[in-house]
Amino acid sequence: MTITNIPSPEDNPFFIIKVRHIFGWYFLLGIGIYFQIGMIGYTRGIPFDGKTPLDPLVDEIAGTYLSILILALVWRQCRLAGIEIKYLVGKVPERYQWLPLVGLAIASVVFALGVFRIFYYPLSFIVPSFVEKILIDYRNSSILIRGSKTFFPAFYYLILAIYYALSPIFSAFILMAIILHRWAAKWGNTRAIIAFFLLSLISYNFIYSVIATFIHAILYVKTRSLLVLIFFLALKNIIWVIWDLSSTTFLDNQPGSTLDVFRSQIQLGVLFFALSAPWVIGFIYKNWSVLKGPLPYFANASEAEKIKADSET
């Protein structure tokens, strides 16, 4: 099966999947989970409000539980729509070069750190209060700081490890495999990629988010393997954790205000950008044309049909 031999658009199984339903499930289930948490806290005399925020452990448990529920619901929808999961996942290419992928993951994280500092450095003089709030929120999201605020740090780190292991699967399967194929079925490949770019603009580091979206799409379409993308995302998570731990220990403990510390790191941001941009931009420039071809599901299905036909002759 390829996108060209589907009799009509309605025969494309991805037309049955509705992205608005996925977002709706995420929103409603999220509200339901936190409502239950609030009710449990209320019955035990523990208010959850602006002055008494959720314990980081409870927050991570809720996020992990929500991700599992969404994955299960979307998986069920795929089965009902007749979507073959094996064609979405694909196979790892033979003799795949993993070392360049590791380098690309490192370069992607370094690029994100550099772009963030370069973009927000001039804004820290124009709208200092806005940038300072972002920096404080970012610092408070550090693993070590959140772990120090929970009543059971060891269990918090365990749940966090589960969440980090689950998030690459969630991101690759839901965002890249399902939503990309659905939007491509509706609008075509080019418009689907543009829609992904627009979706990534909601991030505070939106420049990197757009670049990361391009990289993830290229990896998936080029290798036709969701496993390669999952490995890449997991590797990035590990690198982010290492950076989070090291920056919290060394960089964020410098004397001075939050803005002063951030501004003093502009040279580091320029260095990070200079080292990573050629690798990241070069990868996109060399491989962007693969996005014009068939998406992995149809390419994998077509290959499977060809192998089956050859074996029968």
Residue pair 219/100 in contact (Cβ under 8 Å)? The answer is no
pTM of the model as a whole: 0.88
Mean pLDDT value of segment 254-279? 88
Q: Which burial class, exposed, middle or buried, applies to 177 when counting CB atoms under 10 A from its CB (0-12, 13-18, 19+)?
A: buried
- What's the rounded Cα separation, in Å, for the pair 179 and 149? 36
Of the CA atoms within 13 Å of residue 209, those in its CB half-sphere come to 13
| Single-letter residue type at 246 | S
Q: What is the DSSP string of 237-278?
A: HHHHHHHHHHIIIIITTSSS-HHHHHHTTHHHHHHHHHHHHH
Cα 295 versus chain centre, distance: 19
pLDDT in tens, 99-148: 999 999 999 999 999 999 999 999 999 999 998 888 888 888 888 888 88
Question: Does 237 or 49 have the greater pLDDT score?
Answer: 237
C-alpha separations of 74 from 70, 199, 221 in Å? 6, 19, 21
Q: Where are the domains of the chain?
A: 9-301+305-309
Enumerate residues 6+ apart whose C-beta is below 8 A from 116. 205, 208, 269
